Structure 1
C-alpha cells in the first residue's frame, strides 16, 4: 500500500474479527477502516491507498458486491486472507442457493420424471417431506432440464438471501451440483469459481493466513493458490507460543459420561469457572439453556464475548461459532465442543455420507474442531480444559484417518487425550465421574505435575513441514481447479483431460478415483454423453455412494470378500487410533439402531454395524436404485433386509412385494449364496393379502435391542486388548460368546413372520 499507493484489502470471516483487526491496527499505528456491509464506498483514504480496507469475505465475494459497482469498481493490488480455511466456507456460501419455499415444489416437479425413475426410494421420502431423505440430481438429468430449472430458480434469486449468490450461478448452472432433501434443495458450485470475482482475481498479491496447515490443498482447489506457494508455506519454527490445553474426551473414559452427563458436570462447575460451549446448530445450543447457559446465536456475539471477558457472564453456549470468537484467560477456562461440528447445509450433510471426496466433509469437520479448540487459549501463558463431548465426536476423532487431517500440535494434544482417558479409566479407586473431574481440576488448579507432563508431551511440537504436506492432494486440487476454469471457458474436453491425467498418473484410493471419475464423466457428458455414462459406471464401481448410472449401463454389486468374519472384525478394529474408539463408534451407532430413528438413519446404521461383527454390508437400493435397503453378506450367506421401522400395524401387500423383488435381485447377483429375507418391523404379522418370500424373518424391537446389547458387550471385551494382541481364532470365539456368529443371528435376533 505504501509502495504503490493503491488499495489493499484485509479479509476476515466474521464482522467480530473485522472489528478486532481494526482495533489491533489502531493499536499498532496502522491506518485501517472497516468497509461495512451495506456501505457503498470505502473511505477516501482507503480508496487512495492510504489506509487498509478491512472487510468480511461476504463483502467481497457476494454476487452483488459493491466492489463491482460501476461507481466504485475497487480493484485492490493486494489481498490478505485471514483465517483462509474459514474464509473458504464463507466463500462457498456465496456460490450456493438454498430453495425451501414454494419454488421447491416447482423444482421437484421439474426434476421428478428423471429423478423418480433413477432413485425411487429416496425420491419417495423427499416428496413425503422426510428430512433425512436425500439425493444428488445426476448430471445427465440436471443437464437435460437446465432451462426449466433456471426459470424455476430465477424468482428465488431475485430476493434475499438468494440475490447475493444467484448472479454467480445463473449463467453457469450447467456446472453446479444440486442436492435435494425432504426439507429443501441446495444448488451450488462444488468448487467456487473465484476467478470470476475481479476484485479477487486481479489482485497482484495474495497472502493466505491460517493456523491450520494440514490441508493446504483446499487453498489450491477453492482459491486458486499456486502449487508452489501451497507446497512451500511460511511456518513458525515451533508452537511453543500456543499455550496449554488439557483435552478430555469423556466417552473414552466411560460410555456413561455422555452428553447429558457433560451438561450436568458443566452446570455444577459454572459457579466457579468460566465455561463456553460450541455447538454446530441452534437446536443443540438451546439444550444448554436448561442447565443455566446463556445461549447466543445472533448478532450479539461481540457483546457476549465482552461480558465473558469482564466476568459479567460465566456460562455461554454459541451456535456454529468455531472461529471468530477469541476467549483469552479467564474469559474461558473450560471449553466444551458439543458433538461433531457438522455444517447446517444440505450439501455438506449429503457429502458427509460419501467417502473419497478430495478436500471433503471430514476435512471440514476436523478443521472446525481444530479451530474450536483454539478459541479458549490465545497466548503462551493461557490455559484451558477442552472437553470433546458426545460419543459421536469421540468416534470421529478415534478414526485413524482423522488424525492425519489436523496439525501436529493438535494431533499431539489429541494423543495426550487418549493417555489421559486411559489414566482416568484405570484409576480403580475412583468412579469414572470422579476420575474425570479430578483430571480436569489438575489443569484448572495449575497442578505442577500436570504442567510438567504436558510440556514433555506437547510443547515444542514442530508444525507440519513442507515435506509433510501431501503433494498428491495438491496435484489433485490443482487439476480440479484447472478443470473447472476450462469448463466455464466452454472447453469441456480440456476439463475432462485435466481430471483424467491425475486419475491415470497418481496412486489414488478407489473412492477418491471414483469421485474424480464422476467429475470427468460430467465434463465428458457435454460432448460425448454415451461415453460419459460408461465413465460414470466406472466411477460408481469404485465408490458405491456416488450416483449410479441409468438402468441399462452394466453395474455389478460387490462380491463377498471371502475373508472370514473375524478377519473383517480385526480390520474394522484396526481403523481406530485406540481401543476406546471402537467403544465410542458403537455408542454412536446405538442411537440410530433404534425403531425411533428415521428410516434413513436406521438403514445407515445397519450398514455401519455390519463391520463390527464381520459381515460385508451395503445399501443396494441407495447405491444401485435396485435391491434391498440393506444387505449383509458373509461367506456364501446373505441377509436381505428391508427396513420398515416406521410401520405401526401389520405388514401390507406392498412390503411383501418389495421383499420378493429384493430376493430376486439377490438371487440374480449372488447366485451361489443362500439368502435369508429379513424385514425390520414392529409387527411380525403379514396382512391377509400380502405375499412374502418363503422363510421371511422379522427383526423386531426386542431382537434389535438384544443385538445392540450384545454388540456393546462384544466391543467392550474386544477393547480390553489392542488390535495386535488378538488372533482371528480368539475373535471368532468372542463372536460366538456374544451371539454374533452369522449362524446364531436367525435364532438370537429374529422371529418367524406370521402369515
Structure 2
C-alpha cells in the first residue's frame, strides 16, 4: 500500500505540485509564487487584500489559497465571483487543476472541507442568504472575494429596496411622507404626485425619522412581494440608518453603506481574502465589506513587474477635434466586418445611436448569453449597456473595445451625491475608476491584445485633466501615453489615418508589439492602499449609529470634517453629521445643516434659516470674464473645444435628462462669461436657471427639454414660468427680466396663456445655438484670438453669443 502521510501540505505553492493537474499548468509564475508566499506569512490575519492585474493568474492563486486553508483545517472554503459567468470559469479552472469543487453550498462535501464551493456574489449577500441573516446557517471558514471592486455594485443593489409607483408599499410611504414633502419642496412634490419620471428628491432625514413606524409597517405588509423578499430582511432592522429617495416612477431605500456583517457566516469567517485589480480607490474593502482599515494597511502587491496584455488606447476626438461620433461609428462598423467590436455605453438612451449598426445590444440578463456568443465566434458590433466590470472578453471575443461617454450613476442616491460632489476629486476618482474598469474588459491575459477607443467630450476631458491623469493606474497611463505619442506623429489625423494606426495593433505590426511590451517593463503597482479618509469615517460613524452610539458617531465625523480641505466634501460630511445628530439633538442638526448649506447649496436644505443669495452680473466686459473663466479651467484649446462639444451633447430635447440639461444651461452661461444660477436646485424655489447678463438684464429660464413635441406648451408649464417671474420680481424689484422657456415648440397648448414678454428656445433655435457655439469655440482655438478681449468680443458678436444679441438670435415669441 502507498504510504500517505497524515501531515497535510499547506503551503499553496506546494499544494500546486500535489495536484494531478492538466499539462498546461506546469509551474506557478514568479508573480503567483510571490503572492502565495506573502499570503502564507500573513494567512492568520482576518482580512487580506491581494492586488493583481488581469492576466496575472488570480483564479489559480485564489483556488490554491482556499485549498491550502482546507488542508490546514480552516474550511469550509468559499470562492465568491462577481457573476454566474465568472463562477463557471472558476469551476472550469478548478477541474483542470483537479481541485474538487461544487456550486452548491448545501453540499455535504463543502461543509466537511472536501470541496471548495464556488458561488456568485448574489448567493452570499441577499436577504434569504443560505449563509445566514441574523442567525448563522451554513458556515464559512475561509472566503475569497474575487474581483472585489466588481462585486461592489451587486452588493449595493442587494441592499437597496426599489418600489415602483404602482406598488402598494410605494403608495403608503408616499402618502405617509406627503405633508412633509409639500413643506420641503411643493413644486417637486406635485411632479412626483403626477408620476413625472424626471422628478426625484431625497426625503429629509427629520421626516424619515418621524415616520419610521408607518414606513416599517408598509414594508412589512408587502415583505413577500418580489421586490422586497430579498431586500427587506437586510434593511428592516437598520431603517433609521437608511436614506429614502422618491422619484415619480419609483422610490429607493438604502443604507448609507451595505451592512454586509449581517451575513453572519461572512462576518465570522476566520479568513477573508479580497482579490482586486490595481484601481484608484480601495476604500470599498472597508465601506462595503466591513474590513478594519487599520488591519489592511499592508496589501499583498507583487514587487515584481506585473504582466498584463497589450492595449492601444486612443481618443480620436482628442487627436482631431473635428471628428464626430458618427465618423468613429462608421469606422467601427467597418472594423466589425472582420473582428468583434464591443461598445460600452452608460444607458439605454445612449445605446439608441448605435442600434442601427449593432449586431446585438446587451443589458441585464441578456449579457451572459451575448458574451458567450462573442467568445464562440465572430459577431460584429456588440453594444453593452452599463457593464463596466464583471465580464471577460478574451482574445477574439473582443479586438476593439470602445468606452463611449461618461459612466452614469445607477441610483438616485448616487445621483444626488454626485451633484453635491460635482467637480471634486472624489467624484472624478469614481468616474476614472469606472472608465478604467471598462477599459480592462478586452484584455484578459498577458498575451492578449486589444484596441481601446475612448469617445465623448466629457469622458476625454476627465482623462485629459491633470487630476484624471494622476488617478490612472501606472500601466494604463503608460499605455495611453504611448498610444497618444504614436498617433500624434500625425498632425490632426483623418479618420483614415486613425484607422491605419489601429491596424498596427490588429495586424500585429512587429514594431508596435515591441514598443507596447517595452513600455510595460518595470511598471509596478502601488504598494499602498488608496483609502479615502472621509468614506472610512462615514462608515465608522454609520456603524456607531447602528449601535445607538450617536455621540461616538458625531465625534468620528467631527474629526473627519476638521481634516477635510475640499469645501464640497466637507459640506457632504456636515450633512451626514446632521442626519446622525438628529437622533439626539434635532435643533443642533438643523444648525449643522445650515453650515453645510452655506458651503454647498446642493445638500439637503434645512427646515429654516435658508437665505437666498442674489445673483450679480459678472464684473467687467463679457469677453474679459470669458477669458478669465477659460484660463482658470482649460489646459489647452482642445480641452476648451471638447467642453463646448460636451455642452451641445447635453443640450438636447431628450426625456429624463433634465438634470444634465439644466446643468448644461448653467455651464453655458459660465462658458460665455455670463453669471448663472440654478435657484430651484439650490433653494427649492424659483426658475430652473437664472442668467445675469452684463447689460443688467436677467433671463428667467424654465427648461422643458423632456416634454414630447406635438401638444404645444402646456398650461402647467406656462404657469410655472409665470410663477418664476413673480419669484424674480419679489427678489429683484429694481431689475428687469426676460421670461425664457426652452421647449420643443413655440406653439401654446390648450388653455395655456403666454407670459408677458415670453421667449421660447425651440428645437430649431437650440440647434442654431449649438452650431454657433461650436463655431465660436473653433475660433477660440486660435491663440491670436483666445486671449485678446477685443477679438473675443468680436467673435461673440459674430456668432450672436453676446448679451445684447443672444435673446433675439436664439429664441422667438410664442405662437397661438
Scaled by the length of structure 2, what TM-score is found?
Answer: 0.81
- What stretches of structure 1 of length at least 5 have no aligned partner? 36-40
In structure 1, the residue matched to 2:103 is 34
- 1:748 aligned residue (784, 795, 809): 809
- 2:767 aligned residue (686, 690, 705): 705
**Residue 162 of structure 2 corresponds to residue 102 of structure 1:** no
Q: For residue 374 of structure 1, give the secondary structure of its aligned residue in structure 2.
A: helix
- 1:521 aligned residue (578, 584, 587): 578
Cα distance between partner residues in 2 of 1:113 and 1:251 = 50
Cα distance between partner residues in 2 of 1:155 and 1:361 = 38
Q: By how many angstroms is 1:516 displaced? A: 0.8
Q: By how many angstroms is 1:256 displaced? A: 6.2
Contact 2:82 2:390 (C-alpha < 8 Å) held by counterparts: yes
Q: By how many angstroms is 1:357 displaced? A: 10
Q: By how many angstroms is 1:710 displaced? A: 2.1
Q: By how many angstroms is 1:330 displaced? A: 2.4
Contact 2:91 2:101 (C-alpha < 8 Å) held by counterparts: yes
- 1:4 aligned residue (42, 55, 73): 73
- 1:15 aligned residue (84, 101, 104): 84
In structure 2, the residue matched to 1:136 is 202
Contact 1:698 1:750 (C-alpha < 8 Å) held by counterparts: yes
> Which stretch shows the higher mean deviation, 590-599 or 90-99?
590-599
Q: By how many angstroms is 1:517 displaced? A: 0.8
Contact 2:134 2:264 (C-alpha < 8 Å) held by counterparts: no
Contact 1:541 1:555 (C-alpha < 8 Å) held by counterparts: no
RMSD between aligned residues: 3.7
- 1:641 aligned residue (701, 707, 710): 701
Given the superposition, is the C-alpha separation of residues 268 and 652 from structure 1 closer, same or farther in structure 2, using an over 3 Å criterion? closer
- 1:486 aligned residue (518, 523, 544): 544
Contact 1:638 1:676 (C-alpha < 8 Å) held by counterparts: yes
Q: How many residues align?
A: 739
**Residue 656 of structure 2 corresponds to residue 607 of structure 1:** no
**Residue 110 of structure 2 corresponds to residue 46 of structure 1:** yes
- 1:602-648 deviations in whole A, cap 9, x for unaligned? 32321232221123332111221112210123566643323356487
> Which stretch shows the higher mean deviation, 149-158 or 275-284?
275-284
Q: By how many angstroms is 1:520 displaced? A: 0.6
- 1:498 aligned residue (556, 559, 580): 556
Cα distance between partner residues in 2 of 1:648 and 1:512 = 43
Q: Where do residues 122-133 of structure 1 align in structure 2 (5 Å cutoff)?
A: 122-133=188-199
Bigger CA radius of gyration? 2
Cα distance between partner residues in 2 of 1:700 and 1:534 = 43
In structure 1, the residue matched to 2:54 is none
Contact 1:177 1:188 (C-alpha < 8 Å) held by counterparts: yes
Q: Where do residues 439-518 of structure 1 align in structure 2 (5 Å cutoff)?
A: 439-455=501-517, 460-466=522-528, 473=532, 475-504=533-562, 506-518=563-575
Cα distance between partner residues in 1 of 2:735 and 2:513 = 59
Q: By how many angstroms is 1:557 displaced? A: 5.6
Cα distance between partner residues in 2 of 1:519 and 1:276 = 40
Contact 1:700 1:750 (C-alpha < 8 Å) held by counterparts: yes
**Residue 663 of structure 2 corresponds to residue 620 of structure 1:** no
Q: By how many angstroms is 1:476 displaced? A: 1.6
Cα distance between partner residues in 2 of 1:453 and 1:349 = 41
In structure 1, the residue matched to 2:588 is 531
Contact 1:684 1:752 (C-alpha < 8 Å) held by counterparts: no
- 1:193 aligned residue (259, 270, 280): 259
Q: For residue 607 of structure 1, give the secondary structure of its aligned residue in structure 2.
A: helix
Contact 1:684 1:753 (C-alpha < 8 Å) held by counterparts: yes
Given the superposition, is the C-alpha separation of residues 654 and 234 from structure 1 closer, same or farther in structure 2, using an over 3 Å criterion? same
Q: By how many angstroms is 1:397 displaced? A: 3.6
> Which stretch shows the higher mean deviation, 659-668 or 129-138?
659-668
- 2:141 aligned residue (77, 100, 113): 77
Q: By how many angstroms is 1:48 displaced? A: 2.3
Contact 2:238 2:255 (C-alpha < 8 Å) held by counterparts: no
Given the superposition, is the C-alpha separation of residues 553 and 241 from structure 1 closer, same or farther in structure 2, using an over 3 Å criterion? same
**Residue 219 of structure 2 corresponds to residue 153 of structure 1:** yes
In structure 2, the residue matched to 1:242 is 308
Cα distance between partner residues in 2 of 1:70 and 1:191 = 17
- What stretches of structure 2 of length at least 5 have no aligned partner? 1-68
Given the superposition, is the C-alpha separation of residues 734 and 386 from structure 1 closer, same or farther in structure 2, using an over 3 Å criterion? same
Cα distance between partner residues in 2 of 1:631 and 1:461 = 50
Given the superposition, is the C-alpha separation of residues 727 and 302 from structure 1 closer, same or farther in structure 2, using an over 3 Å criterion? same
